[in-house]
Amino acid sequence: MSVIQTVLALIVTLGILVTVHEFGHFWVARRLGIRVLRFSVGFGKPLFMRRDRHGTEYAVAAIPLGGYVKMLDEREGEVPEDEKHLAFNRQTPPRRIAVAAAGPIANFIFAVFAYWLLAVIGFTTIAPVVGDVEPGTPAERMELESGMEVLEVDGRQTPSWRHVGMALLQRAGEQGEVRLMLEQEGRRLERSTALDGWLGGARDPDPVREFGIEPWRPDIPPVLGEIRPGSPAEEAGLQPGDRILAVEGEAVADWFALVDRIQAAPGEALSMRIERDGSERTLTVTPASRTDGEGEHIGRIGAGVESVSWPEGMQRQTQLGPIRAVPEAFNQFWNDTRTTLVAVGKMASGLLSVRNISGPITIARVAETTVTTGFESFVRFLAYLSISLGIINLLPIPILDGGHILFYGWEWVRGRPVSEAVQGLWLRLGLLLIAMLTVLALYNDVLRL
């Protein structure tokens, strides 16, 4: 069932973002008087097709990993004389640039709308209050202490742990000083420390924890919540609401101690003393083995934790009116765009590991996680992925929108198109680069599995 949910989450995610992207191309082409022959979401054999009064076919195809807008073009077939003015190749370079840029711009507009919607509907975040500080980390060098709230990172306000993580991620692989503005018992404090290539070679880094900060969290008792069907927990007879008292005779202090004990025993039969409905009993559960991101085998039993309420003072409710939400949406958009651009630049320059490049498998897994987590998480994921899709498509690589814009811009400046020989060479290089990036992304995905 989990595989089906993951695939469905991927289809929904890509379906939304591809439709938005291709609609941008479609809408601008229509506005400029270019004849659109087909608007397809997906590749391959159409599963559904409809034709409008303009002769445009709308299709949903079998392979949901992209899409395209096909326009009338003399380079792709015979065009009647009376329709040649409607062909894409007959348009001026500025018009063709507008059509090519419209897809990424549509992705950016969608991200702004998503952040605006979240601000209007309202969402709750957890205040970024320090719990523990790991020794030998930048956080320890800063002398951070439990109970401090992170207000700013390098001058950027950080109302939530997501903001803290995004701000710290921008410093990955860098030299120089990072500054934090903190609050402790009503006093504002500024702390700083030097970075020396921090996170440069990390794969899928967690910038907050790699910085040495363990976020504050309420005491979480070892009480089970959701039990996954077919999991070792279900096979052992564990049920939601069970409190784990001891494992192999050793008392369990809290949920995290229980997780650590299970992860340390892949494939090992564990005796668990539990409390259920006021009485105690003993069950035996054998954690399944899985490989983590570092290649280590860890145990898992397929059980979640019972939900715990956060103290009211640790929760931050954000809800804005439609007008006030506009600048907030653009601010969120710019922060995420800047983070993505910085990450792309650092991977290109070698400051950040290319192992962070993700492919469809990772996207599917994250999509499924955010769908099950809730509406806010899924919309934020869509917005961030939409920004990434827009930026990637603007890269000056042939076959991408940015490559087309580069050629059309060159034609605009020089007054004549790039020769077919040069275009062919750049196209082959672009295909090779895209193929290499695809293989790398899939390789990284497999390692994450």
Nearest to 34 by CA among 75, 79, 91, 74: 91
Q: Count how many residues are written for the chain.
A: 449
| 250-300: pLDDT as tens digits | 999 888 889 989 999 888 999 999 999 889 999 999 998 876 555 578 888
Distance CA 185, CA 64 (A): 53
Q: Which helix (H) or strand (E) holds 198?
A: none
Torsion-angle region of residue 56: left (phi > 0), alpha (psi -120 to 50) or beta? Answer: beta
- Per-residue tokens: 443: 């390789």
Q: CA–CA separation, 400 vs 392, rounded Å?
A: 8
Q: Given pLDDT bands bounded at 50, 70 and 90, which one contains residue 1? A: very low
Return the H-helix or E-strand segment holding 226.
Answer: strand 224-227
Measured CA angle at 339 (ends 337, 343), to 5 deg: 115
pLDDT, tens digit, 9 for 90 and up, residues 358-399 = 766 667 666 667 766 678 888 998 999 999 999 999 988 878
Q: How far apart are CA 146 and CA 216, in angstroms?
A: 8
Q: Dihedral, CA atoms, 44, 49, 55, 56, nearest 10 degrees?
A: -60
Please state, in angstroms and rounded to a whole number, the distance separating the CA atoms of residues 153 and 130.
14
Residue 317 · residue 124 · CB < 8 Å: yes
CA 102 to chain centre: 22
Question: Is residue 258 exposed (0-12), middle (13-18) or buried (19+ Cβ within 10 Å)?
Answer: buried
Question: Which of 102, 94, 19, 1 minimizes the C-alpha distance to 58?
Answer: 19
Query: pLDDT-derived band of residue 27, with 50, 70 and 90 as boundaries?
Result: very high
CA distance 235 to 243: 17
Q: Looking at per-residue confidence, does 221 or 351 come out higher?
A: 221
What average pLDDT score do residues 441-446 get?
68
> Quick one: average pLDDT of 116-142?
90
Which comes out higher in pLDDT, residue 125 or 100? 100
* Identity at 159, one-letter amino acid code: P
HEC profile of 366-412 = HHHHHHHHCHHHHHHHHHHHHHHHHHHHCCCCCCCHHHHHHHHHHHH
- Asked whether the beta carbons of 258 and 252 are under 8 A apart, the reply is yes
What Rg, from alpha-carbon coordinates, does the chain have?
26
Q: Three-state SS for 215?
A: strand
Helix, strand, coil % in the chain, rounded to nearest 5: 45, 25, 30
Active-site entry in 22, 152, 174, 368: 22
Secondary structure tally for the chain: helices H, strands E: 12, 18
Q: How far is CA 193 from the centre of its chain?
A: 29
Q: What is the Cα–Cα distance from 363 to 389, expressed in whole angstroms?
A: 12
Question: Domains, the chain, ranges and CATH?
Answer: 99-121+321-449 (no CATH), 123-217+309-318 (2.30.42.10), 224-306 (2.30.42.10)
The percentage of residues in the chain with a pLDDT greater than 70, rounded to a whole number, is 90
Q: 22 an active-site residue?
A: yes
Provide the token pair at 56. Answer: 């445009």
Distance, C-alpha 71 to centroid of its chain: 32
Phi first, then psi, for residue 35 (nearest 5°) are: -80, 125
User: Could you say which DSSP state residue 294 is in?
Assistant: T
Neighbour tally for 415: CB within 10 Å:
7
Q: Which amino acid is residue 362, in one-letter code?
A: T
Tell me: the pLDDT tens digits for 74-101? 888 888 888 889 999 889 999 999 999 9
Average confidence score pLDDT of the chain: 86
Question: Does residue 108 or residue 227 have the better pLDDT?
Answer: 108
Q: What is the mean pLDDT of residues 164-168?
A: 88
Sign of the dihedral through C-alpha 222, 226, 231, 236:
positive
**Is there a contact between 203 and 444 (Cβ–Cβ < 8 Å)?**
yes
Q: Is 330 exposed, middle or buried (0-12, 13-18, 19+ CB in 10 A)?
A: middle
Q: Among 209, 378, 231, 377, which Cα is nearest to 304's?
A: 231
DSSP 103-120: HHHHHHHHHHHHHHHHHH
